[in-house]
Amino acid sequence: MSLPFDLSPGAAAFMAVALFGAAWVRGYSGFGFAALVVTSAALVTNPLHFVPVVLIADILMTAQQLPGIWRHVDKRRAVTLFLGALVGVPVGVWALSGMGVDPARAVISAFVLGMSLLLWRGWRFRGHVGDGGHVAVGVLSGIANGAAVGGLPVAVFFAAQPIAAATFRATVIAYFTLLDLWSVPLMWAAGMIGSDTLVATALSMPILIVGIWLGSRHFHRSEPRDFRRFAILLLISLSVLGLVKSVI
C-alpha cells in the first residue's frame, strides 16, 4: 500500500511527529494547528496537499473538545466573525489557486508578525470592539484560510482584547469549525480534495486524538498569564516560519 501524496516512509514519519505536536498546540491554545502542519509539510512535500487535510481534521477534532468548551463559547463573536468569513473564504480559495500559497502566506505572515510584536509590547484595543470589527476580521481570516492560516488574524484580534483564556480558546475553536465547514466544500469544488486527502486524514486521526487530549489537559492546569504569553510567542513563531517558507 502506497502512502498518500507519494510520501516516503521518512517523510511520513516526520509528518506524524509534526501532526502530534500541532495537535498538542491545538488542544492547549485552540489555534495554530493548521499553520504548524502546513509549514512542516512544506519541508518534505507540496504543502498544498495538507491544507484540506488539516481543515477536515480540525472539524473532526472539535467533536472531541466540544463538550468541555461549549459553555465558554462567546457565540456572538463566533457568528459575527463567520459572517465576514462567508465573504473572505471564496476570495482566499480563488487567490490560492490563482497566485499560489507562498505570496499569500508572506503577506499574511508579515501582518501577523507586526501585530504580534505590538501585542508582546502590551498593545491592546482601547475601547470596545463591535460587531463591525469582528466582521472585518472574519473577512481577513477567511482570505487567510486559503493558505491555512485563517486562525492567526483572529488570535491576534482576541489577544488584543480583555478576553478570558477559557473564552478565547473556546470561541476560536468554535469559529474555526464554522470556517472549515465553509472552506472544505469550496476546496472540493476547486479540485483540491481527492482520495489521498481522505486517506491522509484517516491515518492522522489517531495521532491527533492523543495530541489534542494531552494539550487540553495542560491548558486546564495553566495560568491565564501563561496562556497569553504562549499564544503571543506562538503567533510570532508561526509568522516568522511563514515568512521563511514563503521565500525558500
Which three three-digit cell numbers place residue 23?
A: 495537535
Q: Does pLDDT of 123 surpass 90?
A: no
Q: Does pLDDT of 76 surpass 90?
A: yes
- Side chain identity, residue 106: A
What is the rounded CA–CA span in Å between residue 230 and residue 237? Answer: 10
**Contact, 174 vs 78, CB < 8 A?**
yes
> How sure is the predictor about 125, in pLDDT bands with cuts at 50, 70 and 90?
confident
Question: Which has the higher per-residue pLDDT, 38 or 180?
Answer: 180
- Contacts of 117-121 with CB under 8 Å at 24 or more apart are 117/236, 118/160, 119/156, 119/159, 119/160, 119/232, 119/235, 120/232, 120/236
> How sure is the predictor about 231, in pLDDT bands with cuts at 50, 70 and 90?
confident
The structure's pTM equals: 0.80
**Contact, 146 vs 100, CB < 8 A?**
no
Q: What is the mean pLDDT of residues 70-93?
A: 94
E-strand ranges in the chain read none
What is the rounded CA–CA span in Å between residue 240 and residue 117? Answer: 11
**What is the structure's pLDDT at 105?**
67
Report the percentage of the chain scoring pLDDT > 90: 35
> How sure is the predictor about 81, in pLDDT bands with cuts at 50, 70 and 90?
very high
Would you list the domain boundaries of the chain?
A: 4-247
